[in-house]
Structure 1
Amino acid sequence: MEFSMKTFYVNVRYLIVPVMTVLTIIGLFLGDIYAWTGVFLFGLNIILDTLTKNIHLRADFDDSGKSYGIKIFQYLVMYLMLPIFITLQFALAYNLYFFTTTNEISISSIIGSVISTGLWAGLGIIYGHELSHNKKEGFSTSRAIMALSGAAHFTYAHVYQHHLELGHENDPATAPRGRNVYWHTWLSHAGQSKFSFDLEKEKLKKQNKSFFSINNKWLLGYLYSLPSIILFTWSGGIIGIISIIVVWSLSNFLLEALNFMGHYGLIREDGKPVEHKHSWDNDNLFTSWFFIEIGRQGDHHVRGETYFWELDEVGAPNYQIGYFTLFLLTLVPPLFRAYTQKYLDNWDKNQASEAERNIAKDYYQNTKHYDEKLITT
């Protein structure tokens, strides 16, 4: 019984996002004040994350070293998230249709519907990330999930660029010191798309095929997003188009905020292997359960194909607060930089190699120029 209850606990604790996404969908269909359910839940998560910031957990294994996680259950949940996110878009389209054709839905309800959809489409990207590391059927499902946010290019760029170039200036997903999350969102998104573009261009050239071939996975990724564009255009016209732009902007902002928080300011010497020290860990209770251990960045980047429920604490640098709390700080760049500076200083002193410290030193020598550049950009 003890083993059974432990197995149950380890597996159901990762159901927060599926349950809250379904509640958000129900709220959209109910309309009125309930259309804001997704926004309310996001705010609730900030509170829960803050309250649990001092509770840190390890991965759960039995006495023989076997994980309590059930692979078939966890993968079933991740695959089910695709139809759930599709339903989320249909729920918003449903509201848009009645808003533009009748007087049954208020402007407030539509605003709540759009923001709720954007937030939970963005938070759901964690499943696209996890499945991108499954080279078989999971990879295709990851592409489909990311396409719902107009970011199918992420799947290739994440695995074949970010994981290989982590901590280098040529990794668009690694934010250098001084960059803010807003500028990073655009640079990272565009940089990863360009990588996928170049990857396919070179591949097709070697195969003597046209760039506009059906084998161009970069183009196909954006074609996968066409159903969403058609759905929102049909259901809401110009308002529908504006809505999907807002939804995609929010969801991609949350995606890149996770990249930003996971790697901000950390440096890897060229030619050296990825180590635990090259990512920020985030292992507080609520962050771990909500984000299906995506905060275990140190272990994840060393063991990229390890199941999320088996990732563990490995001594990587840690900001000591959860992702939701840290996210609030990123929204105010001066506060974020002030909070993180002591952790960067500690990393420079105790974990960086001499070459990495020299790179950091070069940055600080040019900080004034860099900050002025950011202000004028």
Structure 2
Amino acid sequence: MAALVYTEPDGRLATWRDRKRYLWLLALIPSSATFIAVGLVTATGWNVFWWTGPLIAFALIPVIDILAGEDGKNPPDEVIDELENDRFYRWCTYAYLPLQYTAFFLSCYIWARWDLSVLSNIGLAVTIGVTAGIGINTAHELGHKKESVERWLSKIVLAQSAYGHFYLEHNRGHHVRVSTPEDPATSRFGETLYGFWPRSVGGGLKSAWHLEKTRFERLGTTHWSIKNDVLNAWLMSVVLFGVALAVFGIGIAPYLVIQAFIGFSLLEAINYLEHYGLLRQKTASGRYERCTPAHSWNSDRICTNVFLYHLQRHSDHHANPTRRYQALRSMEEAPQLPSGYASMIMLATVPPLWRKVMDDRVLEHYRGDITQVNIAPKKRAKILAAYGVNA
């Protein structure tokens, strides 16, 4: 990529290069986790490497995050349009799909034909589930774009985790209701990951269906149609799993379920991190204030940002949903997580540790005013009392 030329505030011409340009190819490693697992098991004979997916996501990446530190570099505003139009970055996301589905069918073949223990088969299911889960982030990047081919590629990625309705609910639901009590994908102060998971899974599904039903009602026709974006996305999963079962046998069914569960649960764990306790206040008119950088938790850890296409620059994403990942900016006014998403997911699995680390940060963000926080309703009276406020 040639250096991009822009004008400094003082009128001087300057150049800028994306120093992460070729690092984005590292984001394809999760889609290759199954191939890495097969290679390591073949080379060593150690069945522990069937669990390569979680080892990469929750051991390797957090360590590199610590060693590599934070990025802190933003593209100048003047080069963003040119940066977004560089098609190299699009092909980095497109390349995820063939690797993802080659790995998926290879896993099906191994479950059906190789004589592995149940534990090894589960390890492989978790590994391909991590591929599916991080693939949902690829789908997230593609699903926000205006080009119809990218939106369809988003649905194809989501088919493996049977979470095609996310494409609809995230764009038309979450981005409208983010950081409000009405948003199932916004976690609340005092809510554990285990309490949030069923609320977000069920609420997201219900919201997606309601959004499409309402759309078809406005059109004056039935929502029981192949044009229904919930139904056609689910149909992709039915076809995918149907083909896999027909070719490789019913014996792989439990592992298909496990990998899909891991995939969408990884997404929901990330949802839990992104807006914990943050609340858009209501204006005098009774409507919520506009979403600002203050309503998303961010992290500028360079390793996790590369693996997740700058997802951790979440405030800029909510401000500019169609902006491509390579052009997203780190915002100083956004609240910051103490580490990258991979480390924070592990922290969230232990609720007392999560609250010890995050609750004070939420309060600090609101200058100690607990009444400004998005509190879990069932715990509201207890939490307010703990901070000396009457419910």
2:65 — aligned with what? 49
Q: Distance in 1 between matches of 2:97 and 2:141?
A: 13
1:138 — aligned with what? 150
2:125 — aligned with what? 114
For the residue of structure 2 that corresponds to 1:71, the secondary structure is coil
Q: Determine which of 280, 284, 293 is the counterpart of 1:276.
A: 293
The reply on whether 1:290 has 2:302 as its aligned counterpart is no
Distance 1:80 1:206, change over 3 A: same
Q: CA deviation at 1:252?
A: 0.8
Q: CA deviation at 1:17?
A: 2.3
For the residue of structure 2 that corresponds to 1:267, the secondary structure is coil
Q: Distance in 2 between matches of 1:151 and 1:370?
A: 39
CA RMSD after TM alignment: 3.1
1:375 — aligned with what? none
Which residue identity is paired with 2:99?
I
Which residue identity is paired with 1:119?
V
Q: Distance in 2 between matches of 1:143 and 1:90?
A: 18
Would you say the 8 A contact 2:144–2:171 is kept in 1? yes
Q: CA deviation at 1:89?
A: 1.1
**Residue-by-residue CA offset, 1:286-338 (whole Å, 9 max, x unaligned):** 12211110001111111111111111122200022111111110010111011
The reply on whether 1:84 has 2:102 as its aligned counterpart is no
The reply on whether 1:333 has 2:351 as its aligned counterpart is yes
Q: Which has the higher helix share?
A: 1
**Matches for 1:328-367 after TM superposition, within 5 Å:** 328-349=346-367, 357=372, 365-367=380-382
2:50 — aligned with what? 35
Distance 1:345 1:294, change over 3 A: same
Which residue identity is paired with 2:229?
K
Would you say the 8 A contact 1:153–1:196 is kept in 2? yes
1:209 — aligned with what? 221
Would you say the 8 A contact 2:33–2:127 is kept in 1? no
Q: Distance in 2 between matches of 1:50 and 1:10?
A: 17
Q: Distance in 1 between matches of 2:376 and 2:359?
A: 14
Q: Distance in 1 between matches of 2:100 and 2:348?
A: 26
Q: CA deviation at 1:235?
A: 5.3
Distance 1:65 1:251, change over 3 A: closer
Would you say the 8 A contact 2:188–2:376 is kept in 1? no
Would you say the 8 A contact 1:21–1:38 is kept in 2? no
Q: CA deviation at 1:6?
A: 7.4
For the residue of structure 1 that corresponds to 2:56, the secondary structure is helix
Distance 1:370 1:357, change over 3 A: closer
Q: Determine which of 162, 166, 171 is the counterpart of 1:159.
A: 171
Distance 1:337 1:204, change over 3 A: same
Would you say the 8 A contact 1:292–1:309 is kept in 2? yes
1:234 — aligned with what? 246
Q: Determine which of 117, 123, 132 is the counterpart of 2:134.
A: 123
2:334 — aligned with what? 316
Pairs aligned (count): 363
Q: Distance in 2 between matches of 1:78 and 1:280?
A: 24
Q: Determine which of 324, 344, 356 is the counterpart of 1:307.
A: 324
Q: Distance in 2 between matches of 1:155 and 1:133?
A: 9
Which residue identity is paired with 1:56?
D
Q: CA deviation at 1:369?
A: 10
Q: Determine which of 248, 255, 271 is the counterpart of 1:243.
A: 255
Normalising by the residue count of structure 1, what TM-score does the alignment of the two structures yield?
A: 0.86
Would you say the 8 A contact 1:56–1:285 is kept in 2? yes
Distance 1:7 1:108, change over 3 A: farther
Distance 1:201 1:360, change over 3 A: closer
Q: Distance in 1 between matches of 2:18 and 2:373?
A: 49
1:374 — aligned with what? none
Would you say the 8 A contact 2:53–2:128 is kept in 1? yes
Which sits farther off after the overlay, 317-326 or 223-232?
Answer: 223-232
Normalising by the residue count of structure 2, what TM-score does the alignment of the two structures yield?
A: 0.83
Which residue identity is paired with 2:125?
V
Q: Distance in 2 between matches of 1:2 and 1:307?
A: 19
Q: CA deviation at 1:183?
A: 2.5
Would you say the 8 A contact 1:153–1:221 is kept in 2? yes
1:221 — aligned with what? 233
Gaps of 5+ in 2: 5-14, 387-391
Q: Distance in 1 between matches of 2:297 and 2:127?
A: 28
Question: Identity over aligned residues, as a percent?
Answer: 25
Which residue identity is paired with 1:326?
M
